[in-house]
Amino acid sequence: MTDIWIMRIGHRPQRDKRVTTHVALSSRALGAKGMYVDTADRILEENVRSVCDRFGGDFEISTGVNWKDRIKEFDGIVVHLTMYGQKMDEALPKIPDGRDMMIVVGAEKVPPEVYERADMNVSVGNQPHSEIAALSIFMYALTNGRSLYKDRNGRFTVIPNERGKTVAEVPK
């Protein structure tokens, strides 16, 4: 697997700002290269870039992106996460190695065209649940979680500990 990109469809800035931010932060933590959002939202971009500025990494975010064009132009495999797709455990072995991937996650009802354009429609369970959870579970299974504790050369780092919160500034 080379680069993983997230395509967020149906983002509603007033209603979905926290959820879409969490989609971005979860995908970043689990190793995605970046995220496209179909609705323009400069505040979302600023918030995600602020995290990247402080904690490092090269995660990219672009909003106001036409999802139809981006999926059509994408040179890689397009995976749509939906509870109506084939089971994740059956789909993962079918994903070819060495190809870029775009993972599509919806906010509101996803247009039928997404199901048709995707190379794979994959379910993470068959019950209603959060797109944040589905994306996180899928990416963890896809990458074996290898990005979770990766050093991203940020100005700050979180130091895991049993109790308390430790955020340290990284010496230059």
pTM (2 decimals)? 0.94
Per residue in 96-105, pLDDT tens? 889 999 999 9
Per residue in 80-100, pLDDT tens? 999 899 999 999 999 988 999
Report the Cα 119 to chain-centroid distance in Å: 17
Backbone angles phi, psi at 47, to 5 degrees: -65, -45
For the stretch 146-154, contacts whose Cβ atoms lie closer than 8 Å and that sit 24 or more positions apart, written own/partner, are 146/31, 147/29, 147/30, 147/31, 148/29, 148/30, 150/31, 151/56, 152/55, 152/56, 152/57, 153/56, 153/57, 154/52, 154/54, 154/55, 154/56, 154/57
* pLDDT, averaged across the chain: 94
d(CA 49, CA 64): 16
- Amino acid (1-letter code) at residue 70: R
The CATH class that applies to domain 4-169 reads alpha beta
Judged against a pLDDT cut of 70, whether residue 65 lies above it is answered with yes
89 is written with which tokens? 């455990």
Domain boundaries of the chain, sorted by first residue = 4-169
pLDDT category at 6 given cuts 50, 70, 90 is very high
pLDDT at 112: 94
pLDDT average, residue stretch 137-148: 94
DSSP-assigned letter for residue 153: B
